[in-house]
Structure 1
Amino acid sequence: MNPRSNFIQKFNSRRDTLRSLLCIGLDPELEKLPKVSLESKAPLVHFTETIIRYTNSYAAAWKPNVAFFERLGAEGYFALEHMVRVMKDVSPEVPIVMDAKRGDLANTSKEYAKYFFETLGVDALTVNPYMGRDSLVPYLDLGGYIFVLGLTSNPSSQDFQKQKLLGKDLYLYEEVSDQMARLGEEYPNQVGLVVGGTHPSEIQSLRTRHPNMYFLIPGFGAQGGDLKSIVKASGNRSLINSSRGITLSSLEENYGQVAQKKAEEVHKEMNQLFL
């Protein structure tokens, strides 16, 4: 039996130390990187290492998005793996949530789980529940922590997630949350939910429905979510993510210092809102 994830323990400790829920996302879109990074031999390595070293003091968690690395093939995977090593070296106490949104057959999920939890050694992973329970269990059997897509922050989330189930007075995202809560009873401290920060009233409803579940909340900052509303609705069992609003806030050579200042601003605001 594989040891169970210590993600919750790491996050709780970091959250309480900083009095913050700030999850810093790294979405290094190549076309938007500062010139000084683009002119380096390895742009993603240069950019992500700079951001990590300047902002780690304010990170309650990291959330790199694998898509921005995969597009570059072998070079991108090298940068991804280097970034994870830097995170562990600079701030080993900060949990790493890999944003990959994987969702596939059970045997394929097992291979994804081995890469992210064994090879990379990240603390948590975002996954898609559309294929059902047997596509999720391999991550849990390996001891990993998963954040399951529930109600996402994009405008088209209503296309499927806000459809009512036939014969039930439930939206699909509510049914997903209920099933994940039951799965979490089988695998304690291993199952959380992704809930978009652009839906504060739904966050509040889900928090009432699942008071002990941990939420990963993207959509704050560049996507328009209001921090005060999100914190009030979600409580402290939440990771509130900001990516572009911090990491891509400058194209100048001092972009690391600018990102540090942005992270500090969010940190101070969260200190005031901390429950």
Structure 2
Amino acid sequence: MTSFLSKFRNRRDGLRSQLCIGIDPELEKLPKVCLDSKSPLVHFSETIVRYTHPYAVAWKPNIAFFERLGAEGYFALEHMVHLMKEVSPEVPIVMDAKRGDLANTAKEYAKYFFQTLKVDALTVNPYMGRDSLTPYLDLGGYLFVLGLTSNPSSSDFQKLKTKTNDLYLYEEVSDQMASLSEVYPGQVGLVVGGTHPSEIQSLRKRHPDLCFLIPGFGAQGGDLESIIHASGKEALINSSRGITLSSLAENYGEVSKKKSEEVHLRMNHLFP
């Protein structure tokens, strides 16, 4: 199986882009043509994948928007993952699930995402420590570990100072993940919110080789030029709502394709 990093770098360099397209199909915000269909999430995700895949360096489905519908949602999620592999097998899939639990539970999550779904990467929460992460890594999966997130109250915990090293907690997490990546080379990356460009730059200097997943560009207000300047090439920059939920019209697929092309061209221009 081709590793996440290989797929990402091949796609990045081929397109001269870092665009990760997030798929967050919030039911209340879907076009009427989707809501009127037999399976709204299948209709929506199929359209988005088929129209925008030429510009996707990676996909990032958020599992919460599927889980809310129970069995119907899981069917739509798995259908979408299979379609992504059929339409664009060269594009890595980052499942945004933010899992974080004890080892035995983590093993079961790991088996679902990396053996059943066979996605390329997964977002995880490191709060419970290394032994909650290693089950995924032992299966060969790639992890994007939450470091400094883009939400307004991220500083509640992530910017608390540690007594031992006088570091912010997110810096301590980044250091530990860099250390973990030495044990599991090519399997550990970091989530850093695009609303923190100066912190991205500081983390990039601290960890020049870690791959970053950067949400927060677009609808959340992150500035693309600042993000690319701070992060360099070893980063995926995610846009979700700004591309996939940009129109309620029946031709929403064509609109999403145009939006993804616009971001793609901007990234071409700014490519490091």
- Fold match by TM threshold 0.5: yes
Counterparts of 1:167 and 1:96, CA distance in 2: 37
SS where residue 233 of structure 2 aligns?
coil
Q: 1:48 aligned to 2:45? A: yes
Q: Please, which runs of 5 or more residues in structure 1 have no aligned partner?
A: none
Deviation, structure 1 residue 82 = 0.1
Aligned residue number for residue 122 of structure 1: 119
2:257 is aligned with 1:257:
no
* 1:16 is aligned to 2:13: yes
Q: Distance in 2 between matches of 1:133 and 1:258?
A: 42
Query: In structure 2, the residue corresponding to 1:160 is in which secondary structure?
Result: helix
2-side partners of 1:260 and 1:167: how far apart? 49
Question: Alignment partner of 2:158: what SS?
Answer: coil
- 180, 205, 209: which one pairs with 1:208? 205
- Equivalent-residue separation in structure 2 for 1:78 and 1:215 (angstroms): 30
Quote the RMSD (CA, aligned, Å): 0.7
Q: Does 1:76 align with 2:73?
A: yes
The one of 43, 54, 77 equivalent to 1:57 is 54
User: Alpha-carbon deviations, 1:87-110, whole Å to 9, x = none?
Assistant: 000000000000000000000000
| Deviation by residue 1:235-264 (Cα, 9 ceiling, x = unmatched) | 000000000000000000000000000000
Q: Which residue number in structure 2 is paired with residue 31 of structure 1?
A: 28
Residue type at the aligned position of 1:152:
T
TM-score when scaled to structure 1?
Answer: 0.98
1:131 to 128, 131, 150: 128
What do the CA deviations read for 1:72-98 (whole angstroms, capped 9, x no partner)? Answer: 000000000000001000000000000
1:1-275 → structure 2 map (5 Å cutoff): 6-275=3-272
For 1:208, the aligned partner's letter is: K
Matched residue SS, 1:249: coil
C-alpha distance in 1 between matches for 2:153 and 2:110: 28
Amino acid at match of 2:63: V
Mapped to 2, the partners of 1:157 and 1:28 lie a distance apart of 24
Q: Give 1:155 deviation, angstroms.
A: 0.5
Q: Distance in 2 between matches of 1:229 and 1:209?
A: 18
* Aligned partner letter, 2:11: R
Structure 1 residues 164-205: Cα deviation after superposition (integer angstroms, max 9, x where no partner):
111322000000000000000000000000000000000000
| TM-score (ref. length: structure 2) | 0.99
**Inter-partner Cα distance in structure 1 for 2:49 and 2:122:** 19
Looking at structure 2, the residues matched to 211 and 144 of structure 1 have their Cα atoms a distance apart, in angstroms, of 21
Deviation string, structure 1 residues 21-75 (Cα, Å, up to 9, x no partner): 0000000000000000000000000000000000000000000000000000000
Distance 2:225 2:43 in 1: 33
Structure 2: give runs of 5+ residues left out of the alignment: none
Aligned partner of residue 150 in structure 1, secondary structure:
strand
Residues of 2 paired with 1:169 and 1:20: CA distance? 36
Runs (4+) of structure 1 exceeding 4 A deviation are: none
How many residues align structurally? 272
SS in 2 for 1:146: strand
Alignment-mate amino acid for residue 38 of structure 2:
K
Shift of 1:116: 0.3
